[in-house]
Structure 1
Amino acid sequence: MRRAERVVLMPILARGAHVHPRDGGCFAEVAAALTTHCWTDHPACIPPVLAQLARGVNDRTSAEARTALAPLIPWAINGPRPTTDLTADAAVISLLTGQIPAEVLRAPVPEPLLRRLDRRPRPRHVLDRAGWRRAARRLVRAQLRAVTATLDGPDRDARLRALLVGAIDATRAAVGLGPLPEPGAPPEAGEQLVPVIADLASVDEVLELRVDPVLEDWPDWLRDPWSRRLSEMEARTAPDGEERPDGPAAVAAVAGVGHGGG
């Protein structure tokens, strides 16, 4: 049974990280709630470089336009991958450095940074991989700063959205998927409230905040993209029977991908 006192209304999308969903949920926090039900803005269900870009776009987009990013969230979600797998991260970096055509603003990238990113880490070399990821984070920050420094108002919002859509498409292409479907839009601008169940749970003797979206009470423009993405993941099986990175096992791995409820 669902206890009414645990149901809270979460404003989406909100700027920054949040202690509790009643304070708001950003792009990454909503993704985490949909998949693992953990409350974090660094979810394992989104590739790290894409997650950093999504957080930056979320925070730099105006309050009026930010909620329109929410229908993109399901398409950014992937199954968990080994830390050595940089496929999705490299796809986003290729986009940001201009190797994948996209109608996005690209700032000049310092040559040393480009050289570092072109040099892929050696397999199982932890320090090499850490250095590559640091360079990737620098590139994401530089591109976001370029957008906010040169554009204002609706033009900035549109360019940030295009940057995020391009990055999501790049990660999808890296696993053999087509461009994301045209998402729906909220009926009105600004933050909107959606119900979630928030509760403290003991995980390995540590209390963690668990957030379970009450999806049956979410608006169609949010619920439908998630249902479509779940169906897409469930259908992803390689011709030889081997599951793809976002195949059925990934659906099971993003624990609690059920459709709401407590």
Structure 2
Amino acid sequence: MTDFPPHGLPVPGRFAHLHPDDGACLMESAALLAGGGFTDSPAGTHPALAALVRVVNDSVGDATRHALWPLAAELADARPVDRAYAPLLVGTVVGAARVLRWPSRRLARHGRACRRRGERLAHVRAGGLPGRVADLLWWRGPGRRYLEHALRVLCAAPDADERLAGLLRKAVAEARDAAGGGAARGGAAGEGRVPAGEGRCNR
């Protein structure tokens, strides 16, 4: 029988931790696997994706969290450079929430805003200070609010663990694909480190 977690790695747990001896959230595990410092915002993971991961990690039950642990290795290198990535990811989460609350005008408005921004940035090359600042302002403002609201809706579902786990697996796979394609085009991710304290939705 395979040991879980692998020898030398901390036990998966909710929330942030001061030291690996206390356990590790999924993002902290990704940071350790990447060979960096013990942090829940490792450089190799796109900030918007890291925000999604943290909320999912803190909101699902222990069994689901353990099942998601293998994603840590993929998250260690999942940072697409495309400027459209963050609004498209947030839009995907908003879309998943709309399945539960289709009449919601707020979710519909957020979805349209993400789609418009994603379309506008789809063919814009990464790089350049003005673009990085604009992307950072969007993420720390409306982008993060849209994500948090959509996740609160998803966390309230009776089958929240299943929905959140499926959404996260899809998001990680798409980020890895996008990062592989974006690397050839060059450029730097422009979102910056995610501020601490995005909304959790523990049940």
Same fold flag (TM > 0.5): yes
**Structure 1 gap ranges (5+):** 1-7, 178-237, 247-262
Structure 1 counterpart of 2:194 = none
Matches within 5 A, 1:12-31: 12-31=11-30
2:109 corresponds to: 111
Q: Is the 8 A contact 1:113 1:135 kept in 2?
A: no
Structure 1, 165-174 or 14-23: larger mean CA deviation: 165-174
User: Relative to structure 1, is the Cα distance of residues 127 and 68 closer, same or farther in structure 2, using a 3 angstrom cutoff?
Assistant: same
Q: 2:147 is matched by which residue type in structure 1?
A: V
Judging by fraction of residues, say which structure has more strand. 1
Summarize the Cα distance change of 1:90–1:38 in structure 2 as closer, same or farther, 3 Å threshold: same
**Deviation of residue 157 (structure 1)?**
1.3
User: What is the distance in 1 between the residues matched to 2:114 and 2:88?
Assistant: 15
Does the CA-based 8 Å contact 2:154-2:160 persist in structure 1?
yes
Gaps in structure 2 of 5+ consecutive residues: 1-6, 187-203
1:129 corresponds to which of 132, 135, 144: 135
Residue identity opposite 2:176 in structure 1: R
Q: Indicate the SS of the match to 1:141.
A: helix
Q: Secondary structure at the match of 1:150?
A: coil
| 1:39 paired to 2:45 | no
Aligned residue-pair number? 167
Q: SS at 2:129's partner residue? A: coil
**What is the match of residue 181 of structure 1?**
none
Change (3 A) 1:172 1:11: closer
TM normalised by structure 2 equals 0.67
Q: Tell me, in whole angstroms, the C-alpha distance in 1 between the residues paired with 2:172 and 2:80.
A: 16
Call closer, same or farther: CA 1:104–1:11 in 2, change over 3 Å.
farther
**Structure 1 position 96 matched with structure 2 position 93:** yes
2:146 paired residue number: 139
Bigger radius of gyration among the two: 1
1:93 Cα offset (Å) = 2.5
Q: TM-score, normalised by structure 1?
A: 0.53
Matched with 1:164 is 168
Report the structure, 1 or 2, having the larger helix content: 2
RMSD: 3.4
Specify whether residues 130 and 158 from structure 1 end up closer, same or farther in structure 2 by C-alpha distance, changes over 3 A only: same
- Please tell me the residue identity of whatever aligns with 2:164: L
Does the C-alpha gap of structure 1 residues 173 and 94 become closer, same or farther in structure 2, counting only changes over 3 Å? farther
Contact residue 11 and residue 24 of structure 1 kept, 8 A:
yes
- How far does residue 116 in structure 1 lie from its aligned partner after superposition? 6.3
- How far apart are the structure 2 equivalents of 1:88 and 1:176? 13
Aligned partner of 1:51 in structure 2 is 50
State the alpha-carbon separation in 2 of the partners of residues 113 and 103 from structure 1.
10
Q: Structure 1 pair 168/91, CA: closer, same or farther in 2 (3 Å)? A: farther
